């Protein structure tokens, strides 16, 4: 019986996370008024701290400096 309760709890938490992840940003902003942590966008939460997610059309200073040196590597699949 206890295994069913554990499975039900895991499914409930997974369902709540899926709903929160797919929730429109405007709803998350409204939830941020109640609890600031609920207003954060889903993900690793590192976008505000590392700066790797810059605004569209602009690369971060690190990306623009090394973008000229980057080249795609294409490997031929083995047969």
How far is the C-alpha of 78 from the C-alpha of 45, rounded, in Å? 39
What does the pLDDT read at residue 47? 55
pLDDT in tens, 14-69: 998 888 888 888 888 888 887 777 667 666 555 555 555 555 555 455 555 555 67
| In-domain check, residue 33 | yes
Query: Which range, 3-12, 19-28, 65-74, is most confident?
Result: 3-12
Instruction: Look up the domain containing 27 and give its range.
Output: 1-41
Indicate whether 17 belongs to any domain: yes
Q: Is residue 12 part of a domain?
A: yes
Alpha-carbon distance of 30 to 20, in angstroms, equals 13
Q: Judge whether 50 lies within some domain.
A: no
Predicted pLDDT at 10:
97
């Amino acid at each position: 019986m206890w295994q069913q309760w554990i499975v039900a709890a895991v499914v409930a938490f997974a369902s709540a996370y899926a709903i929160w992840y797919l929730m429109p940003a405007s709803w998350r902003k409204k939830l941020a008024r109640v609890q600031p942590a609920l207003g954060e966008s889903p993900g690793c939460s590192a976008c505000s701290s590392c700066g790797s997610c810059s605004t569209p059309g602009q690369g971060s200073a690190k990306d623009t400096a090394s973008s000229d040196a980057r080249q795609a590597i294409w490997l031929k699949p083995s047969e």
